[in-house]
Amino acid sequence: MLARQQGSGTQNRRIAWLAGYLLYLSLLLCLLALVYGAVKLYVLAKMEVVVSLTADDAGYFFKIAQNVVAGKGFTFDGINKTNGFQPLWLYALLPLAWLMRGASPEVFFRVALMYQVVLVVIAGIFFYYAIVSFTNRVISTITTVIFYLISTVWFLNGMESGVLLLCVSGLLAYSLRHQVFFDYQPKKAFILGLLLGLVLLARLDMIFLVIAMYLFISIWILWRFADRQWRQQQLKQVGLSLAGLGLVTVPYFLYNQLAFGALMPISGQLKNSFPHIVEVSFGPPRIPRQVTMLLLMTMVICLTNLFLLRSSFFENLKHKYFIFLFIVFSFSILMHYLNTALFMKWAVFRWHFSIYSFVFCLGLVDVLIRLRFIVGRPIILWLTPLFTIAVSGLMLTRFDRMAKHTNWHAIAYKAAVWTRRHTPQDAILAMKDAGTFGFFSQRAVINLDGLVNNLEYQTALKERRLNEYLHAKGVQYLVQHAFISNDVNLRTVVYTSQNPLQVSTDVELVIAGNYERLQLQYRSQLYRTMSDPITVYRKDELYRSEPYPVEVSPYRTVLVIWKLQ
């Protein structure tokens, strides 16, 4: 009997070892699928495809990083100083920009995107490490695989999303390991503050995570610790964590205040109207439907956990601490959602909500734990590698679909290459949405929507001195990438040779090239006013792209470059 039991125990250990080996192998397969798909797309695909899959604003980061390394400081155009960027992603790009000082913009662009892929891969490893620390490997593998799948949708865009994902995953892993504030650990509290500071610098609207974190910590201390001495120890930890947070973030905000006259970067000043509500919008086009669905599902799981906090459901302290963190993250994205709906007046993009998918993955972990009587069955253990294989195939299929996509960024890239070849190296241009064009043209391109400019430009728009401003900056060429009817940010007045005194706002005349001159007025997002008109002439067109579809309408448009008189 004893020998039979020993044999059965040995067999069970072998099965457990084999199952664990298969789980690790399936997770490795998912990682390889992600890296292979990214290499195939970002390294081997045509440049027109690569730029189309990347945010136009990514060009701002890449160009500013190159200018910093070249000794020009924080500037996109090499002329105007700016702080219109998320700082941590820019800092992370500086070593890459230094190592690739002599590389072509195309090579740098591809390498920077793969650099982001590496950050996402490391973030997923942190995520797995965090989850497996308090639950089983099946749940950790399933959620990490889904984490990587979602990453291909939300985090690989050339923007700060990758470094943000790395920071929040690191924060999650460190917090779960040490369970700061559930015990007296002053050094760990200080390090937690440092990590929170990195998260905030990764994306400044993560201030809502900082607010939620300290709000719930305060509630926890007041609710849980009746002993005065213990409460004082916890308050000391709060102070130390705030010191760590300040050590990381205060230099950045102090620099903004001293150099630019405001704590918030120029991009934030242009986009956010807080505390004034300009226009309330809880739906498209400001907030995509899938974002709202992610938030609703996350909040349902969060509210369920709030009711269970005092119950015996939580099997260990780490699990309870995980739920605490999940609730903090959930309320932070709720505050972000409300801020976006109430105070964001312009330029809200999908990657601004990337943290929602991360928090949803945390909620998915909780759901699977609740179903542990199912995931604990042996059949689920063996089905998990099959699930991972299916997700890996889905990931590769998605990369293949992405490789067939192009948009106006490809048009801007072609125009940039033309500019690089046909204009002097010291040429100065001006353009709205200038990230892709400015980076690949290797010319000084002043940004006319103001995101990577400064308050001097906004003042010129407000005082209707745009022509004077452009002349003072030495601008020789004007670029416009799209003409759209009823564009609130660019007012176009058309004069034709047939009726030189008749005014028209029909942009189809511009797209067809049937005009004599145009008057273009640019909007100040800070002051919500229009500039004085800039006049350009059909005879001064140097470059005109082929017509291409406009994503926000059923019409077609063109990109045009004029030489200014």
Check pLDDT > 70 for residue 5: no
Give the pair of three-digit tokens for residue 417. Answer: 């290459």
Q: Does residue 387 register a pLDDT over 90?
A: no
Instruction: Give the sign of the dihedral formed by CA 192, CA 193, CA 195, CA 199.
Output: positive
- Of 384, 318, 42, the C-alpha closest to 175 is 318
Q: Is the pLDDT of residue 500 over 80?
A: no
Ranking 82-91, 93-102, 283-292, 424-433 by mean pLDDT, the lowest is: 283-292
Distance from C-alpha of 235 to C-alpha of 461, rounded to nearest angstrom: 48
Q: Is the pLDDT of residue 552 over 50?
A: yes
Are 491 and 530 in contact by the 8 Å Cβ rule? The answer is yes
Question: Which secondary structure element, helix H or strand E, spans residue 493, and what is its range?
Answer: strand 490-495
Residue 226's pLDDT band (cuts 50, 70, 90): low
How much of the chain exceeds pLDDT 90, in percent? 63
pLDDT in tens, 171-199: 999 999 998 887 888 999 999 999 999 99
- For residue 506, count other CB atoms closer than 10 A to its CB: 15
Determine which of 199-208, 308-317, 433-442 has the lowest per-residue pLDDT on average.
308-317
Q: pLDDT at residue 376 above 60? A: no
Would you place residue 21 in the very low, low, confident or very high pLDDT band (cuts 50, 70, 90)? confident
β strands within 500-559, DSSP E: 517-524, 529-530, 534-537, 541-544, 548-549, 556-557
216 to each of 158, 184, 211, 318, 525, how far by Cα in Å? Answer: 33, 17, 9, 17, 35
Burial class of residue 296, CB neighbours in 10 A (0-12, 13-18, 19+): exposed
What does residue 521 show for φ and ψ, rounded to 5 degrees? -115, 135
pLDDT in the model for residue 18? 64
Can you give the three-state secondary structure of 312-371, one letter per residue? CCCCCHHHHHHHHHHHHHHHHHHHHHHHHHHHECCCCCHHHHHHHHHHHHHHHHHHHHHC
Residue written as token pair 């690989």: 156
pLDDT value of position 4: 45
20 or 521: which leads in pLDDT: 521
Handedness of CA 36, 37, 42, 45 (dihedral sign): positive
Q: Give the pLDDT mean for 416-427.
A: 96
The pLDDT confidence band at residue 375, using thresholds 50, 70 and 90, is very low
Provide the whole-model pTM.
0.93
